[in-house]
Amino acid sequence: MLLQERLGHTFKNPVLLQQALTHRSHSSTHNERLEFLGDSVLNCVVASVLFDRYGKIDEGDLSRLRANLVKQQSLYEIAQRIELSNFLRLGEGELKSGGFRRPSILADTLEALFGAIFLDSGFDAASSVISAMYIPILDTVDPKTLGKDAKTLLQEFLQGKKIALPQYNVVATHGAAHNQEFEVECLVPKLDIQVFGTGGSRRAGEQAAAKSALEAVKIALAKAPTAAKKNKPRTTQLKLAGIATIQPDAPVSHMDITKSSKTTKGQSKKSDSDNQPHATHENEEHASDTQQLQSNTDDENQPDLLKANEVDVPSAGTGQSK
């Protein structure tokens, strides 16, 4: 059977395979109990693969990786890859409503197949099938980002680039009310990016759009690294010695301003020191001229005083002879 070739396992008990493919809408013997068992087997195998593959990742990150790998969307993508929808056994109502395309039905059926393989051939057989499906996925993903959905990755990337968060809008819905497909647009206005995504729910559509938007943002920034930044003319105003000087488009560092300020202060001090000795010298010359004038005046008056003394005072000898 083609499905067994794609699974890489041949059933010893074909009844288990038939039951695993049977939806509850088809008959009372359906796959829900096998789904319960397969979910546990799947979690155990994926946990073991991650434990062996990533020896330096802690428990929290391992749990994040496992949760991402075993979620409905991941199982749905694997189911699509092996074209599982072609082998489902659905009731008439589910067939008419397009149940074979529904992610939940495909994911549940895949888990039921894992449970059936476990019952048919044991844990090692189930582990081999599951590992073969997941290891190629792990080879192409980054464990640091795996487990973070597309919306989270887009938001973190834009925040790191200081770009406003994206906007999501439902632009159209397709299909019947019970099986709608949502078309969602994702906008990044600052980069003029508009992309679309579709999914079985609004959240799935947003995730698909966010994934496309993240790729578009990276491409846009790679082509024009400075596109997200608007160049603004810079005007630097310097205040030196009380005078404002406008210098457009001339970036001036703090050290340049400090140096200029010190230079101005130094020139001011030097000017004061140059003027001070000159003033002192003038004062000294003025004082010297005043002293010299006073000295000359005293010398001119001294002979007159001596003459006056000689005339007015007679000698002692002259008075006695008269």
CATH of the domain at 218: 3.30.160.20
Lookup: tokens for 121: 């051939």
Please indicate, yes or no, whether residues 14 and 65 belong to a single structural domain of this protein: yes
Please indicate, yes or no, whether residues 6 and 142 belong to a single structural domain of this protein: yes
Please indicate, yes or no, whether residues 69 and 173 belong to a single structural domain of this protein: no
Task: Just list the catalytic residues.
Answer: 39, 111
Cα distances (angstroms) measured from residue 263 to each of 63, 155, 198, 260, 271 = 64, 50, 68, 5, 12
Beta-carbon count within 10 A of 249 CB: 8
Q: ∠ CA(300), CA(301), CA(303), 5° rounding? A: 85
Please indicate, yes or no, whether residues 197 and 81 belong to a single structural domain of this protein: no
β-strand partners of 186? 168, 195
Percent of all residues in the chain with a pLDDT value above 70, rounded to a whole number: 70
Look up the domain containing 38 and give its range: 2-147
Classify residue 242: in a domain, yes or no.
no
Classify residue 217: in a domain, yes or no.
yes
Please indicate, yes or no, whether residues 47 and 8 belong to a single structural domain of this protein: yes
Q: What band does 14 get if pLDDT is binned at 50, 70 and 90? A: very high
- Confidence check: pLDDT of 279 > 50: no
Classify residue 229: in a domain, yes or no.
no
Q: Identify the helix (H) or strand (E) that includes residue 198.
A: strand 193-199
Please indicate, yes or no, whether residues 186 and 96 belong to a single structural domain of this protein: no
Q: Is the pTM of this model over 0.85?
A: no
Classify residue 244: in a domain, yes or no.
no
Contact 42, 130 (CB under 8 A): yes
pLDDT in tens, 62-107: 998 999 899 999 999 999 999 999 999 999 888 888 888 899 999 9
Longest dimension (CA), the chain: 185
Classify residue 299: in a domain, yes or no.
no
Select from 3, 134, 4, 128 the least CA-distant residue to 69. Answer: 134
Select from 239, 247, 245, 246 the least CA-distant residue to 264. Answer: 239
* Helix segments in the chain, DSSP class H: 2-7, 14-20, 32-53, 59-69, 72-81, 92-96, 103-121, 123-138, 150-160, 202-223, 254-312, 316-321
User: What average pLDDT does the segment 54-61 reach?
Assistant: 91
In the chain, the number of structural domains is 3
